[in-house]
């Protein structure tokens, strides 16, 4: 799990800050990142949708990965004092919300749908951000498959 978590964190920043799509339309070239896309929706007046994109594609996955990383490190290093036990307990309580907030698959599908819809009247190129975002999705999927919340709770109880 530690290797998957570190791999996901390596893909996290390029996935959000490198260009996802490059659109060539009548000589004009536009690129966008996931982060810029969320703020573009804000600028168009759809602040609730922009907030949802920001939360589910940028903030949620980052918090989930950091939470799992800290949990793994607490257990792996055997940090057993009161502060670390309370921290682990809070992270375990928040895990369900963070995993529900992370919706990377929706955005991978939306990249594909938008590229097919726009391809009739413009040239669409996937950027390195698309690759990183797709890899982030896959690695996070495998990480969540390996993560066992019940096992983490038993490890917390075992540290007492």
Q: Does 38 score more than 90 pLDDT?
A: no
Q: How far apart are CA 31 and CA 22, in angstroms?
A: 4
Average pLDDT, the chain: 91
Q: Which of 22-31, 90-99, 149-158 has the highest mean pLDDT?
A: 90-99
* 112 and 66 Cβ atoms separated by less than 8 Å: no
Phi and psi for 21 in degrees, rounded to 5?
Answer: -125, 145
Each residue's pLDDT tens digit, 40-85? 888 999 999 999 889 999 999 999 999 999 999 999 999 989 999 9
What secondary structure letter does DSSP report for 24?
E
Tokens of 69: 């990383």
Tokens of 43: 């600028």
Average pLDDT over residues 14-33: 89
Please tell me the number of Cα atoms within 13 Å of 15 on its side-chain side.
25
Q: How far apart are CA 136 and CA 14, in angstroms?
A: 10
Q: Does 32 score more than 70 pLDDT?
A: yes
């Amino acid at each position: 799990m530690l290797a998957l978590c570190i791999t996901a964190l390596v893909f996290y920043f390029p996935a959000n800050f490198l260009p996802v799509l490059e659109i060539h339309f009548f000589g004009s070239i536009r690129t966008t990142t996931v982060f810029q896309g969320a703020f573009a929706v804000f600028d168009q007046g759809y602040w609730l949708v922009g907030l949802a994109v920001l939360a589910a594609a940028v903030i949620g996955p980052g918090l989930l990965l950091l939470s799992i990383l800290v949990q793994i490190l607490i257990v792996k290093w055997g940090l057993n004092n009161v502060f670390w036990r309370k921290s682990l307990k809070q992270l375990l309580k928040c895990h369900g919300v963070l995993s529900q907030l992370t919706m990377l698959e929706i955005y991978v599908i939306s990249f594909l749908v938008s590229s097919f819809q726009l391809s009739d009247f413009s040239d669409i190129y996937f950027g390195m951000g698309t690759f990183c975002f797709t890899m982030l999705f896959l690695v996070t999927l495998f990480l969540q498959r390996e993560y066992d919340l019940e096992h983490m709770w038993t490890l917390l109880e075992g540290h007492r």
